[in-house]
Amino acid sequence: MTNDILNEELEIMVRNHAKLEEVEDAGYKAQLDDTVDLAFEGFMDGVPFPGGKAESHLLKLGSKSFIDNFEEQLVGYTKGQEGEITVKFPDEYHAPELAGKPAQFKVKINAIKKLKQPELNDEFAKELGYASLDELKAKTKEETIKRENDRIENEYVSALLDKLMETTTIDVPVSMVQAEIQNRLKELEYQLSMQGFKMDDYLKMMGGNIETFAAQLAPAAEKKVKIDIDRYRAKEGEKINLKKFSTNCDMDVDKEYVKTVSMTAALEELSLYQAKLYAQNTYGLIIVLQAMDAAGKDGTIKHVFSHLDPNGVHVVSFKQPTTEEKDHDYMWRINKALPPRGNIGIFNRSHYEDVVVTRVHDLIENDKIPKDLVNKNIWKTRYRQIRDWERYLAENGFHIIKIFLHVSKDEQRDRLAERILNKKKNWKFSIADINERRFWDKYQDLYSEMIEETSTEKAPWYIVPADNKWFTRYVVSQIVLKAMKDIAPKFPEMSKEIKEQLEEFKKLIESGNIGMIEEMQDVMKGGNK
């Protein structure tokens, strides 16, 4: 490995440990990529709107975290400077009363901060848990070489598989055949429409219209989309054996109605709840996703949560612990990733890796935990620690739901095969996923024990069938919706003063006295200066 590669790795490490420090120069003007400590209050037609005020908010200029060109207008401001900026809310903004409307924000820069990188020296190395800079460089070099070797190995395996597909006939998995059939059906539907065949023509022949037709279908359709998510919940103290739980859709629901109507309605409702959660800024929601490889965690996150406001959603994927993470307790990296109040945190894998994967591969001896603590009771101890930690979070306003995507061994095989056969999914393939199938039974036993030991009233586990992606995503959306309804977030109440002002404006509007309205606006602006 060249010194250039090692130096690049060290530079990334230094950048990742940079800290925000306040700019002392009072005349310094804020620039893009600077972080400002911002006080602001939003007004629409001179009236403050709920959720539009903060006394201290850290905002990185250029991050596109705020609407329209809000951040760009702050460029050039100095510490302590006050001003007013004008923006327009997006037409599809989550709060209907603000969508597509102009607004004014009174702003004040409390402070301007810049990222300052630490010096690459012995002191920095010791902060990361190394004896010296030389040791840090040696360990980084070792890990970089291993990662590069793994990459080369994966590329080699992929090349071999490509060669194999050129010379060998391989049976295409059933799931891929079904997907192709669906694609052809959609093509046929499109071709018919191009030939002038319309639903209206069919309805006229049947002597009805779209409304009556929909009304006839509605009762049966509604019956087929109602699901009891409680059947997937692992009750506290219940004996769990995953072999007894279904991996397929086990309810009589209409697939097409769910995909085209019910799922859309669920996501819209979820979006509204998220807006309330974010505006209230009191509770938080933590969603843990665990599963075997290829069970659909990434797809579930994409289809259920990607439409939400990204400002209030944080997705964290936990991979193999880094050297820095191993220097701390196993919950350290999880605590670092917890979402703030008003936000949803989604964990793609989690702290449960440390009671499952660690046991499957006997990795506990590789951790830096004191040897006298590694005994026959260590897993019972960890289960107790996890239950206590999750109860602590729940008692502090952070609701937790844990979802195990339960995929069958045959379905996993088909999905792994698809990663090989479908060039668009080749990037997902890893020889490690194939190797892990050797431990299938052990994983099933440990996941069963994990759910049994840690499913509680405050932090329940849901065992969701994962062989049918459309059904999995719908069930997950319903589980999250139930959690949101349990939280019952609300938009902040307006103050008595604002309510009185609104009543005055209503009276003036009803009287048609536009001049008086403008006069009151001027008075209010003067009072807010």
Tokens of 53: 């005020």
379's CB contacts (< 8 A; 6+ apart) are 355, 359
Count of CB atoms situated within 10 Å of the CB of 421: 15
Lowest-confidence range among 29-33, 187-191, 257-261, 489-493?
187-191
C-alpha span between 282 and 219 (Å, rounded): 39
pLDDT in tens, 436-476: 888 999 999 999 999 999 999 999 999 999 999 999 999 99
Measured in degrees and rounded to the nearest 5, phi and psi for residue 83 equal: -170, -175
Lowest-confidence range among 216-220, 249-253, 459-463?
216-220
- Is domain 222-487 classified as CATH 1.10.40.60? no
Mean pLDDT of 32-57: 89
Q: Can you give the pLDDT at residue 255?
A: 84
- Give the global pTM: 0.56
Mean pLDDT of 365-392: 91
Mean pLDDT of 295-313: 93
Q: Does residue 297 surpass a pLDDT of 50?
A: yes
Higher pLDDT, 275 or 7: 275
Bridge partners of 282?
A: none
Higher pLDDT, 89 or 261: 89
HEC secondary structure over 135-201: HHHHHHHHHHHHHHHHHHHHHHHHHHHHHHHHHCCCCCCHHHHHHHHHHHHHHHHHHHHHCCCCHHH
Q: Can you give the pLDDT at residue 520?
A: 55
Mean pLDDT of 298-320: 92
Q: Most confidently modeled of 161-170, 321-330, 459-468?
A: 459-468
Instruction: Yes or no: say if 453 and 211 are a contact pair by the CB < 8 Å rule.
Output: no
The CATH code belonging to domain 19-116 is 3.10.50.40
Same fold, 19-116 and 222-487: no
Report the mean per-residue pLDDT for the chain. Answer: 81
Tokens of 70: 């809000």
Instruction: Yes or no: say if 503 and 509 are a contact pair by the CB < 8 Å rule.
Output: no
Lowest-confidence range among 291-300, 416-425, 474-483, 484-493?
416-425
Written as one letter, the residue type at 66 is: F
Lowest-confidence range among 92-106, 175-189, 290-304?
175-189
Q: Does residue 402 surpass a pLDDT of 90?
A: yes
pLDDT in tens, 267-292: 988 999 999 999 999 999 999 999 99
C-alpha span between 362 and 291 (Å, rounded): 19
Higher pLDDT, 130 or 198: 130
Query: 426 falls in which pLDDT band (50, 70, 90)?
Result: confident
Q: Can you give the pLDDT at residue 252?
A: 80
Q: Can you give the pLDDT at residue 524?
A: 53
Domain ranges of the chain: 19-116, 181-220, 222-487, 496-528
DSSP state of 59: E
Bridge partners of 402?
A: 288, 461
Q: Can you give the pLDDT at residue 517?
A: 52
Q: Can you give the pLDDT at residue 509?
A: 66
pLDDT in tens, 127-158: 888 999 999 888 888 887 777 766 655 554 44
Q: Does residue 3 surpass a pLDDT of 80?
A: no
Query: 190 falls in which pLDDT band (50, 70, 90)?
Result: very low
Written as one letter, the residue type at 245 is: F
pLDDT in tens, 333-369: 999 999 999 999 999 999 999 999 999 998 887 778 8
